[in-house]
A and B are shown apart, each in its own frame.
Chain A
């Protein structure tokens, strides 16, 4: 019984982390699906989202506002606005001028952007990690009083619910709205979509903005969940999210969700049963194995090489 409870605990922790990975992974997968490049700076955009949210929360606290829903909503909106603007600006400055050149060129440009943004925040806010206030406390507990108890905190519930809501909105947006339809058209054939009168530049900008906004949501949630942030924490999270995107099949939005959840569970099982130090090794190992044996991922479509 205890073993089962312990297993369930790891599963819940994994699904919590995994659902935020999925939120970040959407940004990678949408950009890759449309212009076929890895947006290396996406992890940094997520980090900036977390910083903005923290600034907003501290600012509101200084103003004496203590009503929790208001704080959360304002922080979320601020983070989404700043991150989306950042995503838009990054695309404009670093990616649009090199679009359509040799594959390595946008990638190197993206790595440069990632280093730039990391140091931008590092210089502005210092390199030390800063405590993120735990605004949502408490939770449910299961199991006998005197032995191991499975606990689900309200924070974890919040993460689940928020992720679910964001994913639903995104799915509806992609399948129903005009821009969503245009997004799908552009990802199928950019040139053809352009011929049919879709402003492809606008659509590409839109994917960056949407991805960045979701990353900002993840930034706020994970910042609160972990309890501290620093300028480097976007990098590893970005890599993990990219792994999730590849795992599920890059270019596919349901794939990113599935990949994020699988990766999160794999990680938390490793730290629960083996050792916390090796959880990164497991996720990178997983990435390497997937790319070797099923490069298209779980839900991806095989890519045909065109000459």
Chain B
């Protein structure tokens, strides 16, 4: 056994060296047309060697290490803890939610402008993640082109305002409905496909939308995007220093207060907050309605669900359409917040980030998804010096999550009744 371990450990260490040394140890530098090779810093080389040694030692003593790791849960006091009682948990849940909403309402008045702006972005991601959660978490359909619906919402508002001068409040439902329509039209043919094929087709669809946006230059401005998207108004009151549109008044003049750029930021934040809360509540209700139960039934066992008389296509289509609807919502808010959109904002990576949020939070769990959205958006801002490692850590976290805790940080627990054990 020991000899076998040694061989395996040596092999693993050599593989570690092979996969890391050539890529990390040499840097390609291009000057003009000539490419030159430079050796990396000593610290990198030492790091690579150290990694190989660690892999070697780990593999050598793996059996002992894993054995002692298995003993660890006994030390951890949380392992044998009984799950909280259902009624208590629900109460705690609603108390926490109320506190969160109150905190979110107070937040813009105490935080700085930059922080409020970032929070608006967090809320947009929460909306997106909640919407994708319906598709991936509840219905179990892996959608890798989710960002396409987000783009549809954003571009609907941008184009409507550019060509017809439509305001935010009219564009919001139109954008969401149009995104839902896209979901319906795309979903109808592709939802017959099996899980992984569906993933690829939706990915392809997302790419097609992005390429079309990039190349239909007369309509969308191509890579230059669309600018000058108007801010939302409050009952016809604008937030700019001067009123841009006939018939509107300005917010600061109506209330007789000094003009401040912060008003607009706070207003946008509040709109995003309201929409995010609406999204969360709507989905929460849907989850408990027959259609929500049908989503989960289909995710758990398609054949059993079918044999119980569920219409597979209708159920999947409803999840897909509702997910797309909320993405359209988020897209409209995003366009209004940025004032400028271009296809750059709707790349595959964005879909992957939203998917990562859903996965990290725990598929199906709303609370988990909200917390993960906050963490994923804010952590890179806090650790700016590590920001270039953000995507690296993302990728690694997705893999580790799937290996160790596929149910996510805060897995969904459904309301259920347990049978009493007979004595």
A residues touching B (Cβ–Cβ < 8 Å)?
Answer: 37-38, 48, 51-52, 54-56, 58-59, 62, 78, 81-82, 85-86, 88-89, 93-94, 97-98, 101-109, 111-126, 128, 130-133, 235, 239, 242-243, 246, 275, 277-278, 280-281, 284-285, 287-288, 291-292, 295, 305, 307
Contacts and interface: CB of A to CB of B under 8 A. Distances in A.
B58 interface: no
B373 interface: no
A115 B402 contact: no
B403 A97 contact: yes
Nearest to B397: A112
B159 interface: no
B389 interface: yes
B197 A109 contact: no
Interface in B195-248: 195-197, 199-201, 203-205, 207-208, 211-212, 214-215
B306 to A, nearest CB: 11
Contacts of A243: 204
A128 B250 CA distance: 47
B341 to A, nearest CB: 20
Interface in B16-40: 16, 18-19, 22-24, 26-28, 30, 33, 35-37
A115 B394 contact: yes
Given A112-B399, A113-B395, A101 B214 contact: no
A128 B144 CA distance: 26
Contacts of A85: 15, 18-19
A48 B190 contact: no
B126 interface: no
B23 A121 contact: yes
Nearest to A279: B211
B181 interface: no
Contacts of A103: 195-196
A223 to B, nearest CB: 12
A146 B182 CA distance: 51
The B interface is mostly helix, strand or loop, or mixed, namely helix
Given A48-B23, A106-B402, A285 B193 contact: no
Interface string B336-365: 000000000000110010011001000000
Given A93-B399, A281-B211, A284-B208, A119 B36 contact: no
22 contacts: A38-B196, A38-B199, A52-B22, A58-B28, A59-B37, A78-B22, A98-B406, A112-B356, A113-B395, A114-B395, A115-B349, A123-B392, A128-B30, A131-B30, A131-B35, A239-B200, A239-B207, A246-B200, A277-B215, A291-B190, A295-B194, A307-B303
Interface residues of B, number: 60
B406 A113 contact: no
Interface string B28-58: 1010010111000000000000000000000
Contacts of B352: 111, 115
B142 A107 contact: yes
B193 A280 contact: no
Given A109-B399, A111-B355, A278 B15 contact: no
B403 A94 contact: yes
B388 interface: yes
Contact of B211 (A59, A86, A246, A280): A280
A123 B389 contact: yes
A240 B221 CA distance: 27
Given A58-B28, A111-B352, A130-B30, A123 B395 contact: no
Nearest to A292: B189
Interface in B276-318: 303
Contacts of A94: 399, 402-403
Interface in B125-142: 136, 140, 142
B205 A288 contact: yes
Q: Is the interface of A mostly helix, strand, loop or mixed?
A: helix
Given A58-B35, A82-B22, A115-B398, A235 B196 contact: no
Interface of B: 15-16, 18-19, 22-24, 26-28, 30, 33, 35-37, 136, 140, 142, 144, 189-190, 192-197, 199-201, 203-205, 207-208, 211-212, 214-215, 303, 348-349, 352, 355-356, 359, 388-389, 391-392, 394-399, 401-403, 406
Contacts, number: 180
Contacts of B303: 305, 307
A62 B36 contact: yes
A54 B37 CA distance: 10
B391 A115 contact: yes
Given A109-B398, A281-B211, A287 B15 contact: no
A129 to B, nearest CB: 9
Contact of A88 (B15, B394, B403): B15
B395 A55 contact: no
A113 B211 contact: no
B359 A108 contact: yes
Nearest to A112: B398
B196 A107 contact: yes
Nearest to B21: A82
B3 to A, nearest CB: 18
A101 B407 CA distance: 12
A62 B30 contact: no
A98 B404 CA distance: 9
Contacts of A58: 28, 35-37
Nearest to B55: A89
A295 B197 contact: yes
A55 B26 contact: yes
A112 B193 contact: no
B390 to A, nearest CB: 8
A254 to B, nearest CB: 21
Nearest to A283: B204
Contact of B190 (A52, A113, A120, A292): A292
A113 B356 CA distance: 12
Nearest to B11: A88
Contact of B18 (A82, A93, A133): A82
Contacts of A54: 28, 35
A124 B41 CA distance: 11
Contacts of A48: 23
Q: Which of B24, B201, B399 has the most CB of A within 10 A?
A: B399
A104 B395 contact: no
A131 B31 CA distance: 10
